[in-house]
């Protein structure tokens, strides 16, 4: 109806014609592509070309959605800077509901009885290259060797960690958690 507030998630705004909407923006496509370049040596040239095509096309669609939004919900100030860099509209109204993730709030749900220091790794999906898991796996032995009390808490679909056995003992995989139970 006329008084409704429409919040569109990313490219879903393309389906909203002649209506005002608030855009819930994620990381811009070209930032995502840039971040994925770290894995170029681990994927085929065909995959790299397909990603470039996909994310450049997605960037065009995002630009349209971003420019036509009345207001933008941003996950962080860094995302806001990236959107302004790629899409302009520096004066567009925006709102950042959370300025940072506070690890302690994640501990209020399931009681893990953790001691020492913990690294929280939350991931959706299991693609190790795109999610950066392969780099975490390379770094974990050095981190665990230097900081003897550190554990890694992994929230997301379980998979086999490619790390030495002594490192696996310090990885706590809680499995997939629904958004409703994430806290």
pLDDT in tens, 110-123: 555 556 677 777 77
Rounded to two decimals, what is the model's pTM? Answer: 0.56
Helix (DSSP H) and strand (DSSP E) numbers for the chain: 7, 7
Which of 5-9, 82-86, 90-94, 153-157 has maximum average pLDDT?
Answer: 82-86
Q: How confident is the model at residue 183 (pLDDT cuts 50, 70, 90)?
A: low
d(CA 181, CA 119): 19
For tokens 């990603």, the residue is 51
pLDDT tens by residue, 12-51: 788 777 788 888 888 888 988 887 787 788 888 998 899 8
Determine contact, residues 29/62, Cβ cutoff 8 Å.
Answer: yes
Question: How many other β-carbons are positioned within 10 Å of the β-carbon of residue 128?
Answer: 19
Q: How confident is the model at residue 103 (pLDDT cuts 50, 70, 90)?
A: very low
Cα–Cα distance list, 179 to 9, 124, 140, 157, 183 (Å): 16, 11, 27, 13, 8
């Amino acid at each position: 109806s006329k008084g409704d507030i429409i919040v569109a998630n990313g490219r879903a705004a393309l389906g909203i014609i002649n209506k005002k909407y608030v855009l819930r923006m994620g990381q811009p496509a070209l930032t995502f592509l840039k971040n994925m370049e770290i894995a170029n040596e681990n994927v085929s040239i065909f995959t790299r070309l397909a990603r470039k095509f996909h994310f450049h096309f997605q960037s065009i669609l995002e630009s349209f959605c971003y420019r036509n939004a009345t207001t933008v919900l941003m996950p962080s100030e860094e995302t806001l800077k990236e959107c302004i860099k790629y899409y302009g509209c520096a004066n567009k109204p925006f709102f950042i509901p959370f300025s940072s993730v506070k690890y302690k709030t994640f501990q209020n749900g399931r009681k893990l009885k953790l001691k020492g220091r913990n690294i929280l790794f939350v991931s959706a999906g299991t693609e190790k290259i795109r999610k950066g898991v392969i780099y975490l796996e390379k770094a974990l032995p050095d981190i665990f060797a230097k900081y003897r009390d550190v554990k890694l808490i992994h929230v997301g679909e379980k998979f086999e960690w490619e790390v030495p056995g002594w490192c696996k003992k310090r990885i706590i995989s809680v499995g997939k958690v629904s958004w409703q139970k994430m806290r």
